[in-house]
């Protein structure tokens, strides 16, 4: 055995578990390939568009024939083979006409693929997430998939599908099931002193209780995207309750808190602070003026 083969042997003998596994850059997640549906925008029907007010992100959702037919019937019984694809797009002002906002590049692709047997543990939908290049992000795929499912169960009454058909020719009506609700984001009061120290240390000592999200399914299964998506909901609750509002993971390591503040810079508008953990669970603080 020469020296080189000897090194190779040692490297292979180290168990894989001793390295932090890199989940990023893969062409498939949850047994769903990005390439299987990459032409969705050309081939499928546009179901609806949505806009994230806080991040300025445009979302377009498409469905294949089976998915769109089921959705339009108002049914929640999606057959195997139904697929939804959603893309998130950054936006910014057109420099030559700044009140008009234009697309500024793809942020991500998300798929939901119905296979009742294969994806039984996540309500029959297989969830997959890819970056702009059709490759996976660094987060652990099982935890991510469970976080997708946890949030989608908010609309269990719509077969875990948020999107509702929009008629691009004449739509002014709301689809029938939009008024029905099943699970919702629920808040309850929590005493500040009952909170773990890594969280309570951000809350002014004069505040004895805060509003806290109770939904245990969401709190048990969350990924970074969940924290981001929760921010506007917490802001709303903080505005109406005028108290800090908290969303924390079941193990307390990941959280978002919105804290109303007074600040001279914002003058009479008022202000608030958002403290949110990043992918390494480190808290990051941002400050904003209240707009309305
Ligand atoms: C915190 C809540 C939340 C999480 C987590 C979440 N989603 Fe969604 N998802 C939504 C909402 C709300 C919509 C409706 C469209 C929009 O607002 O962008 C949606 C829409 C979709 C759609 C279009 C079909 C539909 O239900 O309307 C797909 C596909 C999708 N999500 C996939 C995923 C995948 C894959 C993940 C995990 C990587 C995920 N989602 C995680 C809230 C969530």
Question: Does 104 share its domain with 236?
Answer: no
Q: What's the number of domains the chain is made of?
A: 2
Closest CA to 46 of 60, 34, 59: 60
Pocket test of ligand 1: the residue of 148, 149, 154, 229 to mutate, having most ligand atoms within 8 Å of its CB, is: 148
Range of the domain at 102: 17-179
Q: Which atom of ligand 1 is nearest to the CA of 88?
A: 18
Domain of 170, CATH number, reads: 3.50.70
Among protein residues, the one with the nearest Cα to ligand 1's atom 37 is 148
Q: Which residues contact 33 (CB under 8 A, 6 or more apart)?
A: 27
Closest CA to 162 of 272, 47, 247: 47
β-strand pairing of 209-213 with 245-248: parallel
Asked whether residue 232 is domain-assigned, the answer is yes
Q: How far are the Cα atoms of 126, 142, 154, 180, 248 from residue 30, in angstroms, in the given order? A: 7, 8, 21, 31, 26
Asked whether residue 6 is domain-assigned, the answer is no
- Specify the DSSP element, H or E, that contains 10: helix 3-13
Asked whether residue 2 is domain-assigned, the answer is no
The tens place of each residue's pLDDT in the chain, 292 residues long, gives: 444 443 444 444 444 444 568 899 999 999 999 999 999 999 999 999 999 887 889 999 999 999 999 999 999 999 999 999 999 999 998 888 888 889 999 999 999 999 999 999 999 999 999 999 999 999 999 999 999 999 999 999 999 999 998 887 766 555 555 444 455 788 999 999 999 999 999 999 999 999 999 988 889 988 888 898 888 889 989 988 999 999 999 999 999 999 998 777 777 777 889 999 998 899 999 988 876 5
């Amino acid at each position: 055995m020469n020296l080189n083969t000897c090194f190779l042997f040692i490297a292979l003998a180290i168990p894989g578990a001793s390295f932090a596994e890199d989940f990023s850059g893969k062409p498939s997640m949850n047994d769903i390939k990005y390439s299987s549906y990459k032409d969705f925008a050309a081939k499928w029907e546009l179901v609806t568009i949505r806009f994230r007010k806080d991040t300025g992100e445009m979302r377009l959702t498409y469905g294949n024939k089976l998915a769109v037919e089921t959705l339009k019937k108002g049914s929640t019984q999606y057959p195997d083979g139904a697929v939804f694809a959603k893309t998130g797009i950054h936006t910014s002002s057109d420099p030559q006409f700044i009140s008009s906002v234009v697309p500024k590049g793809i942020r991500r692709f998300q798929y939901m693929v119905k296979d009742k047997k294969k994806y039984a543990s996540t309500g029959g939908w297989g969830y997959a997430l890819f970056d702009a290049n059709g490759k996976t992000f660094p987060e652990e795929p099982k935890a991510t998939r469970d976080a997708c499912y946890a949030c989608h169960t908010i609309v269990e009454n719509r077969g875990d599908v948020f999107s509702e058909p929009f008629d691009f020719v004449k739509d002014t009506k709301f689809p029938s099931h939009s008024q029905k609700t099943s699970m919702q984001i629920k808040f309850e009061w929590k005493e500040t002193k009952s909170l773990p120290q890594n969280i309570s240390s951000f809350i002014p000592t004069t505040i004895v209780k805060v509003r806290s999200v109770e939904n245990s399914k969401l709190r048990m299964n969350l990924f970074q995207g969940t924290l981001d998506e929760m921010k506007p909901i917490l802001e709303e609750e903080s505005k109406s309750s005028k108290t800090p509002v908290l969303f924390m993971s079941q193990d307390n390591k990941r959280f978002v808190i919105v804290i109303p503040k007074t600040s001279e810079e914002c003058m009479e508008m008022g202000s608030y602070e958002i403290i949110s953990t990043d992918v390494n669970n480190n808290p990051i603080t941002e400050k904003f003026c209240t707009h309305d």
